[in-house]
Amino acid sequence: MSSITRRGSRIWKGAAALVAGALLLTACSSTPPSAGGDDAAAGGEDVKIFMAPKFTGLAYFEVAREGGEQAGEDLGFTFDYIGSDKPDATEQIATLTNAIPQAPSALVVSAIDGDAVAPALKQARQQGIKVVTYDADAAVDARDLFVNQLSYELAAQTMLDAALLNSPEGGQVAFISASPSAPNHTAHVQIMKELIDTDPKYSSFSYIDTVQFAGDDAQKSQDIALNLIQANPDLKVIISSSAVSAPAAQQAIINAGLQGKVFATGFALPSSVKDFIESGASAAFALWDPAELGYVASVAAYQLATGEIKGEEGETIDAGDAGTYTIGKDGEILYDKPLMFTAENIGDYDF
Amino acid sequence: MTKTDAPPMTPGVTSRRGFASSGAAALRVRFLGVVVFLVLLILVFSLLAPRFFTLDNGRSVLFTAAILAIAAAGQTLVVLTGNLDLSVGSIMGVSAYVVFDIAGGAPALQPLVVVLAIAIGAVLGFINGFLVAVLEIPSIVATLGTLSIYRGFVSVYANAQEVTVGELPRFMRDLATAIWLGVPAYVWLALVVVILVALALRFLPWGRKIYAYGSNPKAARFFGLNNAAIVLGAYVGAGIIAALAGLLLGAQVGNINSLLASGIELQVLAAVVIGGVSIWGGSGSVYGAAIGAIVLATINNGLVLLQVQEFYRLLIQGAAIIAAVAVDAVVQRRVLGATSRRRVMEVTA
């Protein structure tokens, strides 16, 4: 082989590697920020709000995003949706850190790990950026407000009510959470255990103490569900706060031919459980309206950014048709509108 | 190219010769090793968890192992050439989402889901093979790149939507729940894939060349084999098998989002390595990889039965991988030692 052709091929290979590298880089930042509200900045004030879900690519957060975009149109602020498509705290920290130099007026964040993202959020607040959490809270001193979809108590009650609709005679319950660092999931399970121990309404239930973690992964949720069923012959209901795990566990039950004997329930998008409920495999799943939650959180962020509210206890937020909310202790706003999906109403929901 | 039997450099395919070949001996020792490990695991779990050793639980373990075993069979092809395919989970995700999304929108295409998946797998596998074999990018870098690119593609394609249970073709959903002769259909399918891959590796020139190349790439070139074509072929095969595994996984989980199967590459590689396929290439069997998948499923199942938490599962899985590779290294050294002694004796005689 002559040295010229060898060099030529080496250059070509180098170029190809560069192209591959460039492709890789584009793929890493594969979620372009949406320009949803660009045309709606009619208010004249340059309010720019970034919404950062736990991670992009999940239908639940996409519905919440629609609410945020709607708020942008209604109130006339620029709305952007930012995030990584990997369910990983490090990725979210990078997303938030990169957002700060773009100087948004406010961040609306669902924290994948409430403590891990706190330093990034505090840094944002030091730059004068208002921080509102929704769906999953961060450390209290890292944000101005938290729009809580359901108080942890109400969430726990709602899931147990859904469990009772599936298994009216009660029975043994097992829990699947996303991760031990998801504060809302941990609190839900803790309160459900307490309710089963103390509330006569739920005294027909007993529970398996060990909580399993499936990291919002459908396949892992299924494997865990199957293994839980094998481990506990008396298992009646699998409950999960994860909108991925709950339907996946129900599908695993159907796959194993155990529908009607074991049930999975918890929080899930109506579109992903419609088939289970219509076919009678499941009697009930629960959730809230993520779009309205995203709307309320974005309105709260807007009012903080414009100085209409300071984020102090007792102030009210008027979100129009979505309702009026009062700021409670520790900057918490309770949205508190649970939805129970059953055979009667599942056809009414389109998200 | 002349047809070569290439005995000295194909330890993997010489089982016909029995124990006369030390390579085959090593392979059998290693395969026996993982089987013994599995039996020990079953013994320990049976003693600790009374519900472990039941027919129902066995069926459940095999079901959770089935898709992993299929994916591991595909990965074995690539690992045998001394390379890796880290993009396996992304290929599974692309295949499941894209195929079922297309089939959901056009019911006429529903009977063709398998063909669609094979086409997608072949293309994605070809891209991997091209990067590794033709552009000579180290496989760990190339497939780390495609892991990201393929996942990025499905993220953009899915646009944060889900393919829901109701949109899946009826026969695929039925397949996920079917029981044939008392065993889940997925387990039979996994068995068929593993046996087909094993037969292809043993009897087709395509397969024999993979072993030949993996044992000694330089010698393979010397024998007139087209190395790039061999590696490319292994990646295309692995891509097709990964896409089929993705199709089955999609039907199993029901609601498919763009994150399906992300991170599964570590499980797949763990199965392959625990199953005794040498990460240096050229040695190991697809049966071993399948047993490796069953080992992982058994560990997962046993630990849930014992109410052990997730973190310990990762610890134990990691320990099993290191133990497997350590055993590999020891066996290889022993065998190498034995062969070189024999060679010395032959030479002196």
Q: With beta carbons under 8 A apart, name residues in chain A contacting B255.
A: 218, 244, 247-248, 251, 272
Range of the domain at B163: 21-277+286-341
Average pLDDT estimate for A83-99: 91
Which residues of chain A lie closer than 8 angstroms to B149, CB-CB? Answer: 23-24, 27
Q: What is the pLDDT of residue B279?
A: 85
Q: Domains for chain A: give ranges and CATH numbers.
A: 38-149+290-337 (3.40.50.2300), 152-287 (3.40.50.2300)
Rounded-to-5 percentages of helix, strand, coil across chain A: 45, 20, 35
Residue B115 covered by a domain: yes
In a domain, B4, yes or no: no
- Per DSSP, the residues of B95-111 read HHHHHHHHHHH-GGGGG
Q: How far apart are CA A60 and CA A288, in angstroms?
A: 11
Chain A contact set for B54 (CB, 8 A): 230
What is the average per-residue pLDDT within A254-280?
94
The average confidence (pLDDT) of chain B is 87
A130-144 per-position pLDDT tens digit: 999 999 999 999 999
Instruction: Report if residue B11 sits inside a domain.
Output: no
- Would the pLDDT of B30 be above 80? no
Mutation to test the B interface, candidates A219, A228, A235, most B Cβ within 10 Å: A219
Assign A73 a pLDDT band (cuts: 50, 70, 90): very high
Burial class (CB in 10 A: 0-12, 13-18, 19+), A328: middle
**N-terminal to C-terminal alpha carbon distance within chain B:** 35
Give the residue with greater pLDDT, A56 vs B21. Answer: A56
User: pTM for this structure?
Assistant: 0.81
pLDDT tens across B132-177, in order? 999 999 999 999 999 999 999 999 999 888 899 989 999 999 999 9
Residue B4 has pLDDT above 50, yes or no: no
Q: Is the pLDDT of residue A329 over 90?
A: yes
**Residue numbers in A near B56 (CB within 8 A):** 230
**Chain B interface disruption, residue of A227, A267, A269, A346, most B CBs within 10 A:** A227
CA angle B187, B190, B191 (to 5 degrees): 85
Nearest by CB: B51 against A20, A231, A272: A231
pLDDT tens per residue across span B232-253: 999 999 999 999 999 999 999 9
Window 87-126 of A, Cβ < 8 Å to B: 87
User: Cα(B104)–Cα(B168) distance, rounded to whole angstroms?
Assistant: 6
Q: Give the span between the Cα atoms of A62 and A319, in whole angstroms.
A: 20
The verdict on residue B349 lying in a domain is: no
Q: Which residue in A has a C-alpha nearest to residue B60's C-alpha?
A: A226
pLDDT of residue A45: 60
pLDDT for B345: 53
Distance between CA atoms of B250 and B170, rounded to whole angstroms? 13
The helix/strand/coil state of A79 is strand
Residue B152 covered by a domain: yes
Does residue A118 surpass a pLDDT of 90?
yes
Distance CA A47, CA A78 (A): 6
> Model confidence over B38-50: pLDDT tens digits?
999 999 999 998 8
CA dist., res. B288 & res. B201, Å (int): 14
- Specify the pLDDT at position A7: 43
| Residue A165 vs residue B313, higher pLDDT | A165
- What is the C-alpha separation between B260 and B168, in angstroms, rounded? 15
Our count of domains for chain B comes to 1
Percent of chain B scored above 90 by pLDDT?
Answer: 64
- Mean pLDDT throughout A79-94? 91
Percent of chain B with pLDDT over 70: 88
Q: Which residues contact B47 (CB under 8 A, 6 or more apart)?
A: none
Q: Are A235 and A166 a contacting pair, CB within 8 Å? A: no
Q: Which of A223, A229, A272 sits opposite B162 (nearest CB)?
A: A272
Q: What is the pLDDT of residues B255-312, one digit of tens each?
A: 999 999 999 999 999 999 999 898 888 888 999 999 999 999 999 899 888 888 777 8
What pLDDT digit, counting tens, does each position of A189-230 carry?
Answer: 999 999 999 999 999 999 999 999 998 899 999 999 999 999
Q: Is B305's CB within 8 Å of A227's CB? A: yes
In-domain check, residue B6: no
Exposed / middle / buried, residue B99 (Cβ in 10 Å: 0-12, 13-18, 19+): buried
Task: Name the residue facing A219 among B60, B135, B261 (closest C-beta).
Answer: B261
- Domain assignment present for residue B348? The answer is no
Looking at residue B342, what is its pLDDT?
A: 58
Q: Among A16-30, A256-270, A321-335, B118-132, which is the least confidently predicted range?
A: A16-30
Q: Name the packing angle between helices B286-305 and B185-203 (round to 10°).
A: 150
Give the residue from chain B lying closest to A85, CA to CA: B155
Query: Is position B9 within any domain?
Result: no
- B177 and A209: CB-CB below 8 Å? no
Q: Which chain A residues are within 8 Å of B142, Cβ to Cβ?
A: 20
Chain A neighbors of B256, CB-CB under 8 A? 218
Helices (H), A51-198: 59-75, 89-99, 118-126, 152-166, 183-198
CATH number of the domain that residue B26 is part of: 1.10.3470
| CA angle at B31 for the pair B26 and B36, rounded to the nearest 5° | 120
CA B230/CA B209 separation, integer angstroms: 7
- Is there a contact between A272 and B136 if contact means CB atoms under 8 Å apart? no
